[in-house]
Structure 1
Amino acid sequence: MNQRTPTLLYIDDDGALARLVDRGLTRRGYRVVHAASGEEGLDRIRRACAESNIDGIIDVVALDQYMPGLDGLETLEQIMAIPGSPPVVFVTASQDSSIAVTALKAGAADYLVKDVTGDFIPLLHVAAEGALRQSELQRAREEAEAEIHASRDRYAALAAEREMLLREVNHRVGNSLQIIASLLHLQASSAAQDEVKAALTNAMGRVAAVAQVHRRLYTSQDLKSVVLNQYLDSLLEDLRRSAEGNRMSRLTLKAEPIEIDPDRAVAVGIIVNELVMNAVKYAYPDRAGPIHVELHADGEDVLLSITDNGVGDNVKADPRSTGMGQRIVAAMASKLDAVVERDPAHSGTRIVLKFARMPVAPNRTSTAAAS
């Protein structure tokens, strides 16, 4: 593909010198357009910048300093104010270096001293080539910066849309799970058999543990973490409103504001639900009693304990028990890569879990890998 011939606009009131420039630069691959005054040159540049016709484009300007009417510096100032104006090489017969400094500060791409015989034309060709390269680099830089800004805007828009969709999903999932928990609560309240009531209440607590996480994510500014003290407080309030709520009047929580990811928060909530319900069922079989849930940081780890002052090891095995609660606790502890211990020094029952605040590395041996 043939490259387009670049056009140089030569603004100078000296017609004879303009013809020398035309002949000299034409031999060097340029098309030269002459303007005899600053006003005429500005008019040509404005029309060239406004037209979409590629043949009317002015690629570079050579601007003389001394002209009647607008002089070179005044013309340069107005050229720089035209959007999309071409680069300007400032040309003068003066040896005064201060003119060069003023022209360059005003926006000229280059500066050279002319003579009346045209010996400066090779230098003008070099300056025009440099100005064109500089202009192309500047244009490429501006286009790259514009693309970067556009990419950032697109990314920000996609991130905002993704966050909105995640919030909407969490909102819908949380609502659906809350409806299921409410239905289980109604069924448990109307159940005639104690074992059915207990099973439905346990199921309701498990569903509520998951629903609370989604509710937290929907109302939080951070979709990547859940604050455990707030989450557990809401979860225990759900348990107090359950069918077994009259036996949880002395259920307390003491927790620090520890943040973990939503998946692991669900595991913590389900463990708390199972162990609290287990204490309600077995530690105080005929009455309400104190049940304490505590959660605090221990360096990089988290300690979770559920404590009661009930019958402890004196509890009799329930022949109706399926062991489902224990299996659920074991599965969730495995998900947390947690160590689960029973405190033998406590007169009632105290279960302590210790797990890392952050998920374990994938290459670390974990009991979760076997589940």
Structure 2
Amino acid sequence: MNQRTPTLLYIDDDDALARLVSRGLTRRGYRVVHAASGEEGLDHIRRAETQGGIDVVALDQYMPGLDGLETLEQIMAIPGAPPVVFVTASQDSSIAVTALKAGAADYLVKDVKGDFIPLLHVAAEGALRQAELQKAREEAEAEIHASRDRYAALAAERELLLREVNHRVGNSLQIIASLLHLQASSAGQEEVKAALTNAMGRVAAVAQVHRRLYTSQDLKSVVLNQYLDSLLEDLRRSAEGNRMSRLTLKAEPIEIDPDRAVAVGIIVNELVMNAVKYAYPDGAGPIHVELTSQGEDLQLTITDNGVGDNVKADPRSTGMGQRIVAAMASKLDASVERDPAHSGTRIVLRFQRTPPAPGKTSTAAAS
């Protein structure tokens, strides 16, 4: 209850009983204001802010003009109205039910001698506690809604900033990839040109992830089939002649987190570039990239129908691509195998859609 003296508005046309109520509740720590009609009581409540406030109302049923139920209805329509204890001499229980349904906090039967005053005091105390609890509940709910609104605003701002960061990073990486492409085009030595082209592909693989995140509705995942399609299109555009004209993709719409998408993209870049360089010495040939899922397990294959496993024997090979594939496979916790039954080269990677739980990692091996 408030530290200040609470004010009770007693609405009743019986002046003698009103004086009894005033004396009885004043002794119990209340300030009592009397209104002799429903209209006068409503006027007190509406002017309460300038008169010190009304904390609780005791309302009689039978009065000239507005009766108690009519007055109660109008009190309940006032914003921030005080709680109402309905008081009447009637023994008709239907009045009590109607009053409680209309919003009264409590109901009691009065007598002309004032014996009900202790009960009125108890009912007023209960109504005040109930009002305070309701106010606290409403304030807590308002604070929760305000906190949710603040959180939503912060989340929207964070998402906007992340999109802007991904946009800027993607653009910057694409500029670097373009510069590497220009440098590779003007390089006189084949080894230098190949190294710059490979570096360009690696940068482009990372740039594609950031571009995907900038345009995606979900900043926490990348749809792999769309990402790989754009990545392979970048490789086709950067290739000389028609060496990647028969590069194909078959991939399911699998969502994966951005870090793992980067690792997948770099692996695809390395193995496709490896096939372009070594699988078909006499020209272009088919290169197939396929991504499938079985529950949480994913399988990525890069297949060509070329001359087979001659990379290690080729003097042009530095082994950098294999080391990068091994590093990215380790990041994915993937197994890497070469299909010995395939006449050309078929590399198979198996890994989980999400990182495995600690202690359940598998050993990634690059061939």
Does 290-299 or 231-240 show the bigger shift? 290-299
Which digits, 9 at most, give the CA deviation of each residue in 1:215-268, with x for residues without a partner?
111111111111111111100000001143631111111111111111001000
CA shift at 1:10, angstroms? 0.6
- The separation in 2 between residues aligned to 1:231 and 1:2, in whole angstroms, is 64
CA shift at 1:309, angstroms? 1.1
The answer to whether the 8 Å contact 1:283/1:309 transfers is yes
CA shift at 1:163, angstroms? 1.2
- The separation in 2 between residues aligned to 1:175 and 1:110, in whole angstroms, is 69
CA shift at 1:2, angstroms? 8.9
Identical aligned residues as a percent: 92
The answer to whether the 8 Å contact 1:239/1:245 transfers is no
CA shift at 1:285, angstroms? 2.5
TM-score by length of 2: 0.95
Which digits, 9 at most, give the CA deviation of each residue in 1:38-94, with x for residues without a partner?
1111111001xxxx9696111100011111111111111111110001000111111
Q: 1:370 to 1:182 in 2, by over 3 A?
A: closer
- The separation in 1 between residues aligned to 2:46 and 2:351, in whole angstroms, is 71
CA shift at 1:31, angstroms? 0.7
- The separation in 1 between residues aligned to 2:366 and 2:251, in whole angstroms, is 30
Q: 1:344 to 1:193 in 2, by over 3 A?
A: same
- The separation in 1 between residues aligned to 2:96 and 2:311, in whole angstroms, is 99
Structure 1 equivalent of residue 341 of structure 2: 345
1:209 aligns with 2:205: yes
- The separation in 2 between residues aligned to 1:181 and 1:93, in whole angstroms, is 91
- The separation in 2 between residues aligned to 1:123 and 1:314, in whole angstroms, is 100
- The separation in 2 between residues aligned to 1:301 and 1:335, in whole angstroms, is 15
Q: 1:296 to 1:130 in 2, by over 3 A?
A: same
> The residue matched to 1:303 in structure 2 has which SS?
strand
Which digits, 9 at most, give the CA deviation of each residue in 1:15-35, with x for residues without a partner?
111110011001111111111
> The residue matched to 2:292 in structure 1 has which SS?
strand
CA shift at 1:170, angstroms? 0.8
The answer to whether the 8 Å contact 2:322/2:366 transfers is no
Count of aligned positions: 367
The answer to whether the 8 Å contact 2:267/2:324 transfers is yes
CA shift at 1:181, angstroms? 1.0
Does 204-213 or 243-252 show the bigger shift? 243-252
- The separation in 2 between residues aligned to 1:283 and 1:164, in whole angstroms, is 45
The answer to whether the 8 Å contact 1:201/1:244 transfers is no
Q: Which sections of structure 2, spanning at least 5 residues, go unmatched? A: none
The answer to whether the 8 Å contact 1:177/1:208 transfers is yes
- The separation in 2 between residues aligned to 1:32 and 1:370, in whole angstroms, is 89
Which digits, 9 at most, give the CA deviation of each residue in 1:148-186, with x for residues without a partner?
111111111111111111111111111111111111112
CA shift at 1:314, angstroms? 4.7
- The separation in 2 between residues aligned to 1:291 and 1:233, in whole angstroms, is 14
Structure 2 equivalent of residue 37 of structure 1: 37
- The separation in 2 between residues aligned to 1:279 and 1:198, in whole angstroms, is 13
The answer to whether the 8 Å contact 1:197/1:243 transfers is no
The answer to whether the 8 Å contact 1:63/1:72 transfers is yes
The answer to whether the 8 Å contact 1:88/1:109 transfers is yes
- The separation in 2 between residues aligned to 1:295 and 1:271, in whole angstroms, is 13
The answer to whether the 8 Å contact 2:333/2:361 transfers is no
CA shift at 1:193, angstroms? 2.0
> The residue matched to 1:317 in structure 2 has which SS?
coil
The answer to whether the 8 Å contact 1:188/1:243 transfers is no
Q: 1:219 to 1:150 in 2, by over 3 A?
A: same
The answer to whether the 8 Å contact 1:174/1:214 transfers is yes
Q: 1:370 to 1:188 in 2, by over 3 A?
A: closer
Does 189-198 or 147-156 show the bigger shift? 189-198
Does 237-246 or 11-20 show the bigger shift? 237-246
In the alignment, which of 239, 249, 269 is matched to residue 253 of structure 1?
Answer: 249
The answer to whether the 8 Å contact 2:337/2:366 transfers is no
- The separation in 2 between residues aligned to 1:242 and 1:119, in whole angstroms, is 99
The answer to whether the 8 Å contact 1:189/1:243 transfers is no
The answer to whether the 8 Å contact 2:334/2:362 transfers is no
The answer to whether the 8 Å contact 1:267/1:336 transfers is yes
TM-score by length of 1: 0.94
The answer to whether the 8 Å contact 1:8/1:59 transfers is yes
CA shift at 1:315, angstroms? 5.5
The root-mean-square deviation of aligned C-alpha atoms, in Å, is: 2.2
Q: 1:2 to 1:350 in 2, by over 3 A?
A: closer
- The separation in 1 between residues aligned to 2:295 and 2:84, in whole angstroms, is 66
